[in-house]
Chain A
């Protein structure tokens, strides 16, 4: 399982773009990169998933360089409600017996 490293916390202001980088130097060929958002006392919510290059959906973008040893979650124009913990997970859950383990996550605080 690829171990992930993220900053412990980040502060931002409303309307700014927030970029969270996750390092995963030991990522395997079949591993995908998935980001989750978690609010207190709630289960993690799926944000975005990718394998390489760039993925974009209605809430975020995910940038993955060619070597795939890191990835960056980009949240455009954050609001106060984006204050949460963001987790980067790396793995291939399609493979039998595989599982995703959580790292420490990044606590993002959005200020007014």
Chain B
């Protein structure tokens, strides 16, 4: 299947700083990528849809000024958590859509563990 990578895999930062997470489609181009967050023992929650060359679409309740998304190329989307606070500590996962044998499929990155102290 298609490969999606994320960097960094884990990050620890001080409260008030900003953190950037990269999501790359390694062997395919993705006009659309998605960002999710996941709390322990919970399911994935969609945060936003990242569209190449245009503004991201945020889900209700997600602050667009806090979670900045940039999708500047067909293989890279970035999520910047601005002025991070401890409650932003979570597991962030991105995904991208690629063609598969049974139609287009969403493939996920390995996730980024963010800990805000």
**B is a partner of A:** yes
Selected contact of B102 from candidates A32, A36, A41, A89, CB within 8 Å? A32
Say yes or no: B44 contacts A93, CB within 8 Å: no
Selected contact of A41 from candidates B45, B91, B109, CB within 8 Å? B91
Q: Is A99 interfacial (CB 8 A cutoff)?
A: yes
Say yes or no: B46 contacts A99, CB within 8 Å: yes
Minimum Cβ distance to chain B for residue A90 (Å): 12
Selected contact of A34 from candidates B44, B49, B105, B111, CB within 8 Å? B105
Selected contact of A55 from candidates B1, B6, B102, CB within 8 Å? B102
Instruction: Write out, one digit per residue, whether chain A residues 40-60 have a CB within 8 A of any chain B CB (1) or not (0).
Output: 011111100111000100000
Give the distance in Å from the alpha carbon of A106 to the alpha carbon of B113 in the complex: 23
Say yes or no: B109 contacts A49, CB within 8 Å: no
Say yes or no: A44 contacts B44, CB within 8 Å: yes
In the complex, which residues of chain B have a beta carbon less than 8 angstroms from the beta carbon of A105?
Answer: 43
In the complex, which residues of chain A have a beta carbon less than 8 angstroms from the beta carbon of B100?
Answer: 46, 49
Q: Is B79 interfacial (CB 8 A cutoff)?
A: no
Give the distance in Å from the alpha carbon of A32 to the alpha carbon of B100 in the complex: 12
Minimum Cβ distance to chain B for residue A73 (Å): 14
Give the distance in Å from the alpha carbon of A50 to the alpha carbon of B100 in the complex: 11
Say yes or no: B93 contacts A49, CB within 8 Å: no
Say yes or no: B102 contacts A46, CB within 8 Å: no
In the complex, which residues of chain B have a beta carbon less than 8 angstroms from the beta carbon of A34?
Answer: 105-106
Instruction: Write out, one digit per residue, whether chain A residues 92-112 have a CB within 8 A of any chain B CB (1) or not (0).
Output: 011001011111110000000
Instruction: Write out, one digit per residue, whether chain B residues 84-98 have a CB within 8 A of any chain A CB (1) or not (0).
Output: 000000010101010
Say yes or no: B106 contacts A43, CB within 8 Å: no
Q: Is B103 interfacial (CB 8 A cutoff)?
A: yes
Say yes or no: A41 contacts B46, CB within 8 Å: no
Can you pick out 9 interface pairs between chain A and chain B where the beta carbons lie within 8 Å of each other? A41-B91, A41-B111, A43-B110, A49-B100, A51-B102, A87-B44, A93-B106, A102-B44, A105-B43
Chain B contacts to A: CB under 8 angstroms: 1, 4, 6, 34, 36, 43-46, 49, 57, 91, 93, 95, 97, 100, 102-111, 113
